[in-house]
Copies of this chain bind each other. A is one copy, B any other.
């Protein structure tokens, strides 16, 4: 990483929201940005590695504020058993593959808000140390108070799953995801919860996500939210997260859940607009503005929503109807928003099951997800610049990493993407990736993932050595 690299002559959209600056050069030395300025003023020695950005656009490396690199969305539907069985022993490789797919789309940093603690720790550390390629990972590990994929708390056809699978395997998987912080917590009084959360926070997680409300959406639909904890237990959890000094995320699926999160000044509220189809009232929006709390939202594009509606998809309300209206009103009000997608490394068999309509602008297809997010938000009325900030500076700020990443400023990590066409003119130009630089290292993003495991497809039934 000792290399120096110069991105020369592009129009800079630096992640601070100002007017784009043409003819800009960005210098990265030893992985950090050392100079940003006019091409006229910054001289580039011919020995220095250069990226010619003439006529192109320079942006900060993209940031996804909510992924589940082991594919969480898929585990809520079909495919969980086969996915977890197929890759057992190799989950950290799957996570690395996912981090590479994200990186292929220009995403240099991802925040994984639910994953199996052990493999995501391995993958994070291997990528951080350079032992593996991929987008930089920060993670929460488990979702405090929620069961594993086969508990019925989470996975849509979970109870059916347990009728056809090994109990031992199901229990092992649930334990791997829960790491002792699952639904059992909701049976305990505050005094017993405190040492457990304290212990968990010492396991090296980068932030902590609390299940304020349930995840029964897959089982019971979006309109019947429950609270996971009593408020006094919730307060213990929040207290310990604050004490550990890491960002506090909330999982909420109802308006009252959201209000509860706001009262606790959560750093980032995941799928904040998912309010059980109850419109978010003005007073709640005002609270968000007043407190300047970050909300992650999960929009769908017009085309995808139309498809979902047409097949009466169980997730049609995920971002449709009132949830869509919530998105629109949040955008209009200028609530601080963060790009997040729930995307992960989907099993290709599951993708193969899908129709063209389902695949088109699908919000959970990793590598495409952030482009789809920005497009969907612009369709809902967001300014393209705001959409870019939602996928760069905002998550960095929400996760308190803005001193390190999220904008192109001297001293920050050298994460840069170069686009062929102007994303402000048309947000879908975000897809015109020309160069991807991570910590000053140019990434051969077309070559990712490096050693496909999940995405080596189609599968050959019998491979001779």
Contact = CB atoms under 8 A, between A and B. Distances in A.
Contacts of A19: none
Contact of A92 (B152, B260, B462): B462
A281 B190 CA distance: 12
Interface stretch (A134-142, A271-279, A394-402): A271-279
A124 to B, nearest CB: 13
B86 A349 contact: no
A315 interface: no
Interface string A147-179: 100011100010111011111110010001000
Contact of A462 (B118, B153, B219, B225): B118
A71 to B, nearest CB: 12
B230 A152 contact: no
Contacts of A227: 226-230
A81 B116 CA distance: 21
A220 B152 contact: yes
Contacts of A233: 256
A81 B78 contact: no
Contacts of A183: 223-224
Given A88-B461, A160-B160, A461-B172, A255 B187 contact: yes
A406 interface: no
A232 interface: yes
A463 B79 CA distance: 22
B223 A187 contact: yes
A114 interface: no
B461 A91 contact: yes
Interface string A75-87: 0001111111110
Nearest to A85: B82
Contacts of A464: 92, 122
A319 to B, nearest CB: 16
A233 B225 CA distance: 13
B255 A89 contact: no
Contact of A349 (B169, B255, B278): B169
Interface string A244-265: 0000000000111101100000
A347 B464 CA distance: 22
The 4 nearest A-B residue pairs measured at CB: A226-B226, A227-B227, A82-B85, A230-B256
6 contacts: A91-B461, A147-B224, A166-B347, A187-B254, A226-B228, A230-B259
Interface of A: 78-86, 88-92, 116, 118-119, 122, 147, 151-153, 157, 159-161, 163-169, 172, 176, 183-184, 186-189, 214, 219-220, 223-233, 254-257, 259-260, 275-278, 281, 284, 347, 349-350, 352-353, 459-464
